[in-house]
Amino acid sequence: MKTHELKASPRTTRGNGPARALRREGFIPAVLYGPDSEPITLSVSHKDLSDILQGVGSSQVMFNLNIEGADAPRKAMIKELQTNVVSQRYLHADFYEISMDRKLHVMVPVVVEGKSKGMEEGGLLQVIRRELEVICLPGDIPEEFVIDVTELGIGEAVHLSDVPKGDAVEFPESADFTVVTVVAPTAAALPEEGEEGEEGEEGGEGGEAEGAEAASEE
């Protein structure tokens, strides 16, 4: 997984007013924490963070946080990213400091490619899992899982055990669940995993927000 450079500045103010002022200036409040370090409150450029995440297409990104005044960059991933439910602008970012020799639990996106035989016959392709949880070292995190569905017929499925992965990557799930399937057009649509919810933001610093969780250490 590629490491992206991101500038950050320490901040000493907290609360709704200072957070809103930061956002008006094009920044968002953030915090960096980890198992071996005290939390540091930061601000980062909304544009810089947005450019990185939109370019990757996922919040599963490894960062070198270049904190103003610090001796060296801090390697981190996003633990939680809160977003305004209306404007979709970022409100707050939690960065989790990582160690390259400690395994992480992370979610990796599923990418489906090809047009299945079942779809040619009128079937419907259903992606049941759009992300898969893995356990691995930070340097071994896959960018994505690509699943070729070309040979998939109606009534057939790709299960977790069918998903190709390297030896350095583990799936923590014990059940061999369905990831992608092709169903007959009369079959009921299956709900996708995950529910969006609303939650507040750091110490009440934001209004309506939705949060996306990411990396956590094993």
d(CA 15, CA 18): 6
Query: Is the confidence at residue 194, as pLDDT, over 50?
Result: no
| Domain-wise residue ranges, the chain | 3-102+195-217, 104-183
The lowest-confidence range among 119-123, 191-195, 198-202, 205-209 is 198-202
Q: Write out pLDDT tens, residues 104-141.
A: 999 999 999 999 999 999 999 999 999 999 999 999 99
Q: Write out pLDDT tens, residues 31-84.
A: 999 988 899 999 999 999 999 998 876 777 899 999 999 999 999 999 999 999
- Tell me the β-bridge partners of 77: 62, 96
Task: Count other Cβ atoms within 10 Å, centred on residue 96.
Answer: 19
Q: What's the pTM?
A: 0.73
CATH of domain 3-102+195-217: 2.40.240.10
Q: The tokens of 179 are what? A: 């990831």
> CA separation (Å) from 92 to 53, 160, 161, 209?
14, 33, 36, 9
Handedness of CA 147, 151, 155, 159 (dihedral sign): negative
Fold of 104-183: RNA Polymerase Alpha Subunit; Chain A, domain 2 (2.170.120)
Confirm whether 3-102+195-217 and 104-183 share one CATH topology: no
| DSSP classification of residue 160 | G
